[in-house]
Amino acid sequence: MIPKYYEFQNSTKILSGEFALENIPTELKMLNAKRPLFLSDETLKQIGTLQIVLDAIEKQDFKVGKIYTQIPPDSDLELIKKIAKIYKEENCDSIIALGGGSVIDTAKGVRMVLSQEIEDIRNLMGAEILTYGKHIPFVAIPTTAGTGSEVTAVAVILEKLKQIKMEFISYNLLPDVAVIDFRMTKTLPKKIAASTGMDALCHAIEAYTCLQKNPMSDAYAISAIKLIGENLIESVEKGSKIARIAMANASMMAGVSFSNSMVGLVHAIGHALGGVCKVPHGNAMNILVPFCMKYNMDKIGEKYGEILLYLAGEEVYLNTPKDKRGEKTVKIIEEMKEKLNKLTGLPITLKEAGVKKEDLPEVAKKAINDGAIIVNPKEAGYEDVLEILQEAY
């Protein structure tokens, strides 16, 4: 059903595949950028991923202005201000971000400070508060296949003093260019490929079933689910070029989808688990997804049944009676979890993830105050969430 009103935007230009990295200078020139600030992290520097990008760029007679690699997993406001200062001191005119969600989100934060020409971005927290501001050309190169941050209108930044994760949502956060190149995800460890892949699957499933869905976000969600169904296990087990590129594309499509729809219960509980018990996001998604789907089943079983076709293919779909397809989708996801556990040791239960049982009430309390729970297709209160957590333990 088409909603009475919806908005959709994916203005990020995508470069995917052979020589994508070599095409970055052309894109920067078209954006009138001559001196980019290059942001990344120490691991990517050490394993040589950063050098691959620099070589590809320099081969095209293009030099970056300044390289900064001291970005931690959860960067905060102070670091963002510091990087914005470096940008100005070094006379940079654009940003390249190479990394996972944290590097790309840090870059989004730096760009916000520079384009809005303010130091304190705390007042810009929330949805659509950002005005267009000064345009800072921005190229994002993801090295994981999960967050989709390279194409989302979302940035999550830590407020260190209050220990809260600030969420900024605006179409003005969208990078100008997203670059998908096999050389960037080739070295992704199996376990990270598994957990980030399950995060992408959750983005697509929740975007396809939440209350803010629309026909455009559906199209991206379905394509993402199909690619994940066909490629996630191979991408983890063999790391083949075809499967890794497919997963990077799936993650991007799932990102476009949820950025223009929303997520739901899995993310609401996952955010709380991350906050209270420090469970990594992808691990939480992997553990929770079948349990939350079972909870939602009586409300949207039919929608979950539609997903079966894309996740498991025509044969499984046609051989499953219509009223059993939703449950079969959950079964397929449980089997995926088992396989990923065997291949990488990715935890299947909260207990395996090191969560203490006495923390579950606190997690449930936080989850029911998370923004994502509002758009879940079925209302969920404290007792419901606690029950899901106990089942997932």
362: which 2 tokens?
A: 């606190």
Instruction: Give the interface segment with Fe ion, choosing from 150-158, 198-206, 301-309, 311-319 (CB under 5 A).
Output: 198-206
Instruction: Give the interface segment with Fe ion, choosing from 62-70, 194-202, 337-345, 348-356 (CB under 5 A).
Output: 194-202
Smallest distance, Å, CB 203 to Fe ion? 6
**Can you name the residues that pair with 140 across neighbouring β-strands?**
97, 178
Does the protein bind Fe ion through residue 206 (CB under 5 A)?
A: no
Amino acid at 107: A
| Nearest of 324, 215, 333, 340 to residue 266 by alpha carbon | 333
Q: Which residue is nearest to Fe ion (CB)?
A: 199
**21-60: contacts with Fe ion (CB under 5 A):** none
Smallest distance, Å, CB 276 to Fe ion? 17
- When the beta carbons of 41 and 199 are compared against Fe ion, the nearer one is 199
Distance between CA atoms of residues 233 and 376, nearest Å = 28
- When the beta carbons of 49 and 257 are compared against Fe ion, the nearer one is 257
Instruction: Give the interface segment with Fe ion, choosing from 58-66, 126-134, 195-203, 207-215 (CB under 5 A).
Output: 195-203
Q: CA 312 from chain center: how many Å?
A: 23
**Can you name the residues that pair with 178 across neighbouring β-strands?**
14, 140
142: which 2 tokens?
A: 């993801």
| Nearest of 35, 21, 1, 171 to residue 98 by alpha carbon | 21
- When the beta carbons of 223 and 251 are compared against Fe ion, the nearer one is 251
Laid out side by side, the sheet with 164-169 consists of 126-127, 164-169, 154-159
- When the beta carbons of 172 and 286 are compared against Fe ion, the nearer one is 286
Q: What is the largest CA-CA distance in the chain?
A: 64
**Can you name the residues that pair with 158 across neighbouring β-strands?**
76, 165
- When the beta carbons of 285 and 311 are compared against Fe ion, the nearer one is 285
Smallest distance, Å, CB 285 to Fe ion? 6
Smallest distance, Å, CB 282 to Fe ion? 7
Determine the Cα angle at 218 with ends 212 and 220, to 5°: 120
- When the beta carbons of 116 and 283 are compared against Fe ion, the nearer one is 283
Instruction: Give the interface segment with Fe ion, choosing from 25-33, 183-191, 193-201, 302-310 (CB under 5 A).
Output: 193-201
**288-317: contacts with Fe ion (CB under 5 A):** none
Smallest distance, Å, CB 89 to Fe ion? 35
How many residues of this chain bind Fe ion (CB under 5 A)? 1
Smallest distance, Å, CB 318 to Fe ion? 31
| Nearest of 11, 19, 88, 34 to residue 245 by alpha carbon | 19
C-beta neighbour count of 48 within 10 angstroms: 11
Smallest distance, Å, CB 151 to Fe ion? 14
Among 105, 150, 199, 218, binds Fe ion (CB under 5 A): 199
User: Would you say 175 and 27 are in contact if contact means Cβ atoms under 8 Å apart?
Assistant: no
Smallest distance, Å, CB 321 to Fe ion? 32
Instruction: Give the interface segment with Fe ion, choosing from 73-81, 150-158, 196-204, 338-346 (CB under 5 A).
Output: 196-204
Q: Residue ranges of the alpha helices (H) in the chain?
A: 24-30, 42-46, 49-58, 77-89, 101-116, 182-185, 190-209, 215-237, 241-259, 265-277, 281-312, 314-318, 325-344, 360-367, 382-392
The contact set with Fe ion (CB under 5 A) reads 199
